[in-house]
Structure 1
Amino acid sequence: MSDVLTQEQRKLNMSHIRAKNTGPEVKLRKLLFAKGFRGYRIHFDLLGKPDIVFTKKKIAIFIDGCFWHKCPVCFQEPETRKEFWMKKIQSNIDRDKKVNEQLKSEGWTIIRIWEHDVRKKPDDAIKKITETLEKTSKK
């Protein structure tokens, strides 16, 4: 199916996609806060720009968009400008790997959560985070 929007309309839509305070990010933060977790930072100046950071425990949480990071479950290839988008998405994936390696080498624990998991299974996402927080408390 071809794009139903004009090039100008698509460009406007894409320009409104936010990098901070996305729906899944805000939802996850609210759930963490409701569970009693208050010691996290947002928009912390760290390599890769994690969405949520527990600085004392050195835990960086990334909420990866299913399109932008090529989710193995729900990614759909773009219909238009495939070469451009696939190159862009692959560079995101490559950058994610480098960020993970660098932060791990600096002693950080990395948690990556897919956008669809926050939307469809938020309890599983919170469980993943809380289990990691508990593990780091025991060290």
Structure 2
Amino acid sequence: MAERPGTDAATSARLSKQRRRDTKPELALRRLLHAAGLRYRVDCAPLPGMRRRADVVFTRARVAVYVDGCFWHSCPVHATRPRNNAQWWADKLAANVARDRDTDGRLTDAGWTVVRIWEHEDPAVAAEKVITTVRADRTSD
């Protein structure tokens, strides 16, 4: 992985090891959804040609679930701002949030329901939110 401008080698190495999928919060959520009898796709683009992938996708119910990391998606409670290369990081994190809002809009316009969960949320509460959404969409058919 190329080193980010103004990022030291140790930080760059640590960031390169960040998981893109199968994080602990994701696995905990998926385990509870599976135990509730729901079946889903993992790390899947909800719309054809859409390069943005949802963490959990219920294709029939048209529900896309994203488990957002507090750092990468600027959680209002737990977000931190790096001091090194502060402006580059501010721009990067703002672009992530803008992309999230754009993704939500595209999916909503295409008839999908988007569920966003923060990594710090209680997995049982998050799973109940997803289960309720998926089952509500199934009964509205």
Q: TM-score, normalised by structure 2?
A: 0.87
Q: Deviations over 1:18-76 (max 9, x none)?
A: 11111211111111112221x20012233321000000110000001100010011112
1:69 aligned to 73, 92, 95, which one? Answer: 73
- State which of 111, 128, 132 in structure 2 corresponds to 1:107: 111
What code does the residue aligned with 1:135 have?
A
- In structure 2, runs of 5+ residues without a counterpart are 1-6
Q: Could you tell me which residue of structure 1 aligns to residue 42 of structure 2? A: 42
Question: Which residue identity lines up with residue 17 of structure 1 in the other structure?
Answer: Q
Residues in 2 aligned to 1:89 and 1:14: alpha-carbon distance in whole angstroms: 14
Separation of aligned partners in 1, 2:74 and 2:10 = 24
Structure 1 distance, partners of 2:86, 2:23, is 25
- Root mean square deviation, CA, Å: 1.3
Partner of 1:97: 101
Q: TM-score, normalised by structure 1?
A: 0.88
What CA distance in whole angstroms lies between the structure 2 residues aligned with 1:45 and 1:97?
16
What secondary structure sits across from 1:63 in the alignment?
strand
Whether the 8 Å CA contact 2:43–2:53 is kept in 1: the answer is yes
Q: What residue number does 1:11 align with? A: 12
Aligned AA for 1:56? Answer: R
Identical-residue share of aligned pairs (%): 36
Give me the whole-angstrom Cα distance separating, in 1, the residues matched to 2:119 and 2:43. 18
DSSP-derived class of the 1:52 partner: strand
Aligned to 1:125: 126
- What runs of 5+ residues in structure 1 fail to find an aligned partner? 1-5
Match of 1:28 in 2: 29
Paired letter, 2:29 = L
The letter for the 2-side match of 1:103 is L
Comparing 64-73 with 20-29, which one deviates more in the overlay?
Answer: 20-29
Equivalent position to 1:82, from 81, 86, 97:
86
Higher helix share: 1
